[in-house]
Amino acid sequence: MEKNKRKAIAEAGDFLTDLYGCVLDEALAATNIDECKDPSEIQWTSVKGLGPYETIVRLFKSAGTAVSCNEAEEAPALNKRTLTRMLSDPVYEQAHKEEVDKERQETWRKATVERKTFVTFSVCQRWTAPTLRQHIASLVAAKNFNGELGESHRLLFGSADLLAHDGGDAPWKDGVVWHEDIETMAACILESSGPTDTAAVFDGGSTKVRRKLEEQFEAAQWKNQRLVYIVYESPTHCGGPKEWKRVYGSDNMETGCVATRFRSNKWKVQERKKYFVGDEGSSAGSVFAHVPVRPFASLPTMPIEERQVMTDQQKCPSPAAGIFDVEVRGHPFSWTERKPIPWYQIFLQEVVAGLVIDLSPGSGAMARACLNEGIQYVGICRTKTHCSWLANGLNKAAVECISRSGSPLYQQDLASCINDHFKEIIDDLNAADAAVVEESSDDEDDNEEY
């Protein structure tokens, strides 16, 4: 992020030198800057000679949209829209600036505290089944959880697409590849022995991963084992180039292996209000149908340098700008993530989760679903960088939850302060959640809790 800012400043310096040297007079005369409320909206690349300005705008946008990986308890810095809105308010005078800033920080602190009552993240750097089991056993949430059959279960969750093993030059196209970490994750989950334990591991859409997971689940011999299927509306995140269609060749399905330590008659069948087959739906059905793929535009991002640290990869592949412009938006944690947040919420309701131990926290989708449902959640990360990135993203999600009437976190008094100070953060989050699949035109071990 700092690298982008320094590059933007250098570009700005060169641009101003040309501007005051009258080099750009002819190009400026060809634009209608006076009639435009926001200069960043101008298509600068279409104006001969003003391409550098578009680069400056793009670099500053990139620095602003990525989620920070730094450990920070303070509120995010005021962005341009927030600052403009607050400075236009008579209350926000210089004499009261310190009081307003203090209120902003206190509001953010309270929102962070509320987030931690439901959602925390923990670091386990040694990724082996025994170490992971010991780590889970040491978690405060695991020690304090008292489940009740049919009412509140402990869900141990993992998904192959959220471990961010790229496995090739085009993971957004090639999909999930088998990795020994998937086997380790499933082995740890299947060795749990709590009376209300529910294990759920998804294959990320990979047939090879599914076969290996099925073997692991069959060998574990839990009392109640099922396969769950997610059928997506489209196979990929974005339109991309027109693909050659083959008979039965679409990979728009993902399979999950689900098992419980208790018998199936202890599990109540519930109404399923969406993603069902036919006229009526319930949790008796093993197929979730018409599930929209979570688009790249809705995923939180980070600069490439931080993704390299977070995923322990020296090289991170980048798609063509028409598929996803990483220079403008940054990199998502995983290129193969597909499950949308609303699906997680329905799944949590159907398995009657009271505590979720997530061994593949990914970009925080399951964590946000737990926040929306008021379910306790612990995400286990492999690096502190991933932990901090997720915590920063979930703090923003908590701000939105607290301000939304009907949410388990809703607090009327705090919601008023949040809308005063963090309206733009909420707007950005809602805009990302509402993002649709974009069409493309291109070819192509410590136990600290956060």
The pTM (predicted TM-score) of the whole model is 0.81
Give the position of tokens 């439901």: 118
Write the pLDDT tens digit of every residue in 134-155: 999 999 999 999 999 999 999 9
Give 417's Cβ-side CA count (13 Å radius).
Answer: 18
CB-side neighbour CA atoms (13 Å) of 281:
15
* Tokens describing residue 408: 């388990």
Residue 101 pLDDT level (bands cut at 50, 70, 90): confident
pLDDT in tens, 23-67: 556 665 665 555 555 555 555 455 555 555 555 555 545 544 566
Q: How large is the average pLDDT for residues 291-306?
A: 91
Sorted by where each starts, the structural domains of the chain and their CATH numbers stand as: 2-65 (no CATH), 112-228+257-268+294-433 (3.40.50)
**Three-state DSSP class for 119?**
strand
Check: CB of residue 382 under 8 Å from CB of residue 135: no
Which of 328, 322, 394 minimizes the C-alpha distance to 358? 394
Spatial contact of 53 and 43, defined as CB atoms under 8 Å apart = no
- Of the two residues 437 and 337, the one the predictor is more confident about is 337
Averaged over 345-356, what is the pLDDT?
97
Q: Note the pLDDT of residue 438.
A: 47
Contact by Cβ (8 Å): 398, 368: no
Contact by Cβ (8 Å): 124, 137: no
> 241-255, 288-302, 409-423: which range is least confident on average?
241-255
